[in-house]
Amino acid sequence: MAVTRRDPRVRLLVAGAAVLLVGLSTGWYLLRDRPQACQGRTLQVGVVAAPDITPALAAVAARFNVQPHEIGGRCAQIEVEARDPATVVRSLARGDPVGADAWVPDSSMWLDRARAAGARTVGFGSPLAASPVVIAAPRAVAAELRDDGTAASWRLLKKAPLHASVRVLDPARNAAGAAVALAARATIGPVTARRDPDPARLYASFAGLEDLRRPLVAASEQSVVAYNDAHRPNPASVIVPEEGTLLLDHPFVTVSTDPLRAQAADAFRWALQAQQARDTFQWYGFRTADGRIDARDATRLGLRQTLPKILPNPTPSQVAAAMRA
């Protein structure tokens, strides 16, 4: 597989090769001048995250862990684990941290839900990476819609043309599903669609047109990137509703009550806001926290560089209603 020059993983490998070459010729100099290794006992810091952003977080954590980060005389090591945000909310509401010192859900909606459920350790997070909710279709179906003059609109979910079948994620378990429901309700009114509780199965209908219906999916822009990465011969196209949409902001929030672990989690949060981390998020199909994406990444990923029209943030009561619907 060809790799673009912007791949942050390639930059890391090139940097490592450069160090090795210099070390062969001037090893005594490197040993003398390289940063001192952390000498304390390992401090394992657990970060639970929504499955969509876990691979990007793990890539940043791998770089973080090879650097010396001494916190209170101990060596901080970050472990990232995918965890369903709804499950995390229930655990934190019970006062059970389930090994989590920090949490990165797919949307700040979950932070509001957690606080409403009684999770006292959940504050206001720092957005890391954004992804608007959009409509996805197989490339051939998207071309049919364009040729037919069908508008890019949330109305595709309400009255889908071309005998389409529509799938969305369950709003009770996934913020993308709730965001789709909220964006549609704010622009065209309530919609109904088949809900799929498993994000891994959301695009299953794209593999074939079994019942002659054209499949449409309403989900995050980044989920389309992830699908296309695994299905290069048959990619999906992004349809951006012209009425406007909502952003999933993937906030980072420290939930540990242990001062040492909280300090280590905060060090990782700062690393996640560095330019190299932002490059990594964009490599995986996310936009920056304010919705920007590099032109070359947009072209590589098949995305529109300009951010879609963003609707006003829903109120906590509107979010709660959408997640219960």
Q: Which pLDDT tens digits describe the chain residue by residue (325 residues)?
A: 443 434 544 443 333 433 333 333 333 323 333 345 777 789 999 999 999 999 999 999 999 999 889 998 899 999 999 999 999 999 999 988 777 999 999 999 999 999 999 988 898 899 999 999 999 999 988 998 888 888 999 998 886 666 778 888 888 888 999 999 999 999 998 887 777 767 778 888 887 655 556 889 999 999 999 999 988 888 899 999 999 999 999 999 999 999 999 999 999 999 999 999 999 999 999 999 999 999 999 999 999 999 999 999 999 889 988 887 6
In the 8-state DSSP scheme, what is residue 5?
T
Q: Global pTM? A: 0.85
Q: Please, are residues 12 and 63 in contact by the beta-carbon 8 Å criterion?
A: yes
Do 48 and 78 meet the contact criterion of CB atoms below 8 Å apart? no
What is the phi-psi region of residue 182: left when phi exceeds 0, alpha when psi lies from -120 to 50, beta otherwise? Answer: alpha
Q: What is residue 162's predicted lDDT score, i.e. its pLDDT?
A: 61
Residue with tokens 């490998």: 13
Q: Given this model, what pLDDT does residue 160 score? A: 64
Q: Is 162 left (phi over 0), alpha (psi -120 to 50) or beta?
A: left
pLDDT of amino acid 194: 76
For residue 325, what pLDDT is reported?
A: 67
Among 263, 300, 277, smallest CA distance to 8 is for 277
Instruction: Residue 127: name the closest of 275, 293, 252, 278 by CA.
Output: 252
DSSP annotation string for 15-73: HHHHHHHHHHHHHHHHHHHSPPPP-S-EEEEEEEE-TTTHHHHHHHHHHHHTS--EETT
Query: Would you tell me how many other CB atoms lie within 10 Å of the CB of residue 155?
Result: 19
Beta strands 194-196 and 164-169 are parallel
- With b meaning 16 or more CB within 10 Å and e meaning fewer, what string describes 217-245? bbbbbbbbbbbbeeeeeebbbbbbbebbb
